[in-house]
Amino acid sequence: MPSTPETLPGAESSHDAAGKSATGDTSHHGPKTASFAALAIGSIGVVFGDIGTSPIYALRESLNHITSGGVQRYEVIGIVSLLLWSLIVVVTLKYVLLIMRADNKGEGGTLSLLALAQRAIGRRTNFVFALGIAGAALFYGDAIITPAISVLSAVEGLKVVTPALEHYVVPITLIILICLFAVQSRGTHSVGAWFGPITLAWFICLAILGLRQIPQDYEILTAFNPVLAISFLSREGWIGFTVVGSVFLAVTGAEALYADMGHFGRSPIRFSWMAIVLPSLTINYLGQGAMVLANPQAIDNIFFQMAPEWAVLPLVILATAATVIASQAVITGAFSMTQQAVQLGLLPRLEIRYTSETTAGQIFVPRVNRLLLIGVILLVLYFGSSSKLAAAYGISVTGSMVVDTALAFIVAIRVWKWRPWLAVVVILPFLLVDLSFLAANLLKFFDGGFVPLMLALAIVVTMASWVRGTVILSQKMRRDTLPLTSLFRSLEKVQRVSGTAVFLTTDPLSVPHALLHNLKHNKVLHQTNVILSVQFAETPHVAKEERTTVEHISADFWRIIVNYGYMDTPNVPLALAKCRQSGLKFDIMTTSFFLGRRNLKRDPRSGMPMWQDRLFISLTKDATNATDFFHIPSGRVVELGTQVLV
């Protein structure tokens, strides 16, 4: 029978959550001790891996829209100009200079932006909440498509080495991806130190390849003139609009700059982008454009044909390593996003493993890893090539960027205190650009764009059902509870036993159901009783000094509220141990933890449709138990069940 613990969390990267450890002590905000250079190099490996592999396919896919009538010079230059100005407007101006100002106690990402916006408004509004859920759901679509298209596009370079290897591209891609997901449970701390240097070598290689090709036709340098991009769009009309959908491939991964802000810091990310990443991408796209101008036949596989013949195979190997790193970043981002969603109450409790005792942000979510692997394999088998898969790529990323821009508008007015007209003047142009990219990508809906949308819709339905179900369940349980103060008068004659009893509950003002069942069946109380409530704030971290609230409410009763941020690791025994300074005598060997376990049955009058009711009950059944989630020793736990109609 489906069941759910009484201690369900309340309501509520990119990417790696900064500052976590296996002990659960996560009070610091962002990196503090690493050198600026180390953070800058580290950000190159994690933050820019996705956008750094876009040159493999972005220009090729953009040019594919205009090849039917032969490639014209103004078309090549116009498309390269669109690529360059997309990097300048979307990444540099919007994310690097604007959105990264939205600092939620050092953290970034869609859910951090959601929490910042909601806190600024002062209440949970359905529109803002729906935006945040949609952004998070679209990110999962990105997390599935990025490994598939990135690794597949790199391995396709083998066809340039020798056409005989064409039939081995998909099998080799699947082997690499399966190995990548298989090692997730071991963590990446042992190889993560190589991510930055390898990706740095990749960007240097991009610049060198571009510099070799630019002298073939210096007219490509006129692509810096934005008028040529606008002229191309006006001359080509509808075809130009379809090209915009592929041009967006050049900026996929831009949202990682904001999502990883808490892990590396704003300044190192900005420096890496301006000093290394943007120049390397710019030079490479210019080189690709010059090569096509000089040799239009190179359009089939522009990137790998930029290298001399002897360097193609090493380039394929380096490209594969870079795409694996890019995939790793988005996979760990999905893990971090899941943890945030669980602790913000958007998803049920899931098993989260910590793969390193020393490295921040090293977590592994087995269920998410399995689902991502299945999705990636299906995508590779269904589409079979990076060109076909590119059609499905843009929608999830453009949708996520639209959400970020809309939330940034709210933050600008409510948090930064901008005048509404100033927010409109500054942010509306970015929103129009994002919506243009989204509209262009929606044209690919029947060519594969439906994949991320269907996936996002499934995640939105799941999150909405979980949020609605937990609200209904909490209201129903609250009606059946007693105020805590009314209990004390009836406890004078109850027999006491030695030790401490901790009763976990979501409502610290009411009598926990586990306490009522213990009195009903065992007819005893412990010498010390603790009513413990774990709550999650809409901030990334809660400082140590603000983590616990301790109140001695009677001779043998204590009320303790433990607060965590949505990127903190809840550890109940550790929190109780720190309450000793408030007078609580806590010894884990003489303490019993009482948890209420609810067995849920469907109630036709619950207020939810039958399918949503069943989905909620199924989610509660699959949720990991509170013992593991709160790091409570299983040998000290007593579970008392009750049946609830929901």
Chain segment 176-187, per-residue pLDDT in tens: 999 999 888 877
The residues spanned by each domain of the chain are 35-466, 481-645
How large is the average pLDDT for residues 155-159?
88
Q: pLDDT band at residue 37, thresholds of 50, 70 and 90?
A: confident
What span, in angstroms and rounded, lies between the C-alpha atoms of 273 and 269? 6
Looking at the predicted structure, is the pLDDT value of residue 139 above 70?
A: yes
Prediction pTM value: 0.80
Share of the chain above pLDDT 90, in %: 34
Q: Specify the pLDDT at position 22.
A: 32
pLDDT of residue 356: 63
| Geometric angle at alpha carbon 195, from 340 and 539, rounded to 5° | 20
pLDDT digits (tens, 9 = 90+) for 200-251: 999 999 999 999 999 999 999 999 999 999 999 999 888 889 999 889 889 9
DSSP 8-state secondary structure symbol assigned to residue 254 = T
Owner of token pair 């995508």: 379
Residue 283: pLDDT over 50 = yes
pLDDT of residue 14: 35
Q: Is the pLDDT of residue 188 over 70?
A: no
CATH T-level assignment (fold) for domain 35-466: Amino acid/polyamine transporter I (1.20.1740)
What's residue 358's pLDDT? 53
> In whole numbers, what is the pLDDT of the chain averaged over residues?
84
Neighbour count for residue 298 (Cβ, 10 Å): 18
Report, in this order, helix, strand and coil percent for the chain, each rounded to 5: 65, 10, 25
Spatial contact of 482 and 474, defined as CB atoms under 8 Å apart: no
pLDDT value at residue 15: 38
pLDDT at res. 18: 33
**Per-position b or e across 413-432, b if 16+ CB within 10 A of its CB:** bbbeebeeeebeebbeebbe
Strands 495-504 and 363-364: unpaired
Angstrom CA distances, 512 to 238, 292, 628, 636, stand at: 63, 71, 20, 18
- Mean pLDDT for 278-303 is 92
User: Mean per-residue pLDDT for 29-56?
Assistant: 78
pLDDT at residue 314 above 70? yes
d(CA 44, CA 33): 18
Tell the residue number behind the tokens 């013949």, with chain if given.
Answer: 309
C-alpha 7/C-alpha 598 separation (Å) is: 10
Q: Which of 103-107, 384-388, 445-449, 580-584 has the lowest mean pLDDT?
A: 103-107
Higher-pLDDT residue of 601, 346: 346
What kind and span of H or E run contains 643? strand 637-645
Name residues whose C-beta falls within 8 Å of residue 72's C-beta, 6 or more positions apart in sequence. Answer: 66
**pLDDT of 561:** 94
Q: In this predicted structure, what is the pLDDT of residue 1?
A: 41
Bridge-based pairing state of the strands 557-564 and 548-552? antiparallel
Please tell me what DSSP assigns to residue 607: S
Contacts of 615 (CB under 8 A, 6+ apart): 461, 462, 465
Mean predicted confidence (pLDDT) in 411-422: 91
Task: Identify the helix (H) or strand (E) that includes residue 147.
Answer: helix 126-155
What is the band of 78 on the pLDDT scale with cuts at 50, 70, 90? very high
The one-letter amino acid at 378: L
Interatomic CA distance for residues 292 and 216, integer angstroms: 9
Q: Kindly indicate the confidence band of residue 136, based on its pLDDT and cuts at 50, 70 and 90.
A: confident
pLDDT of 123 higher than 70: no
- Percent of the chain predicted with pLDDT > 70: 92
Structure tokens at 256: 């990682």
Which range (109-123, 132-146, 271-285) has the least confidence?
A: 109-123
**pLDDT at residue 89 greater than cutoff 80:** yes
Measured CA distances, 102 to 403, 413, 416 (Å): 14, 12, 9
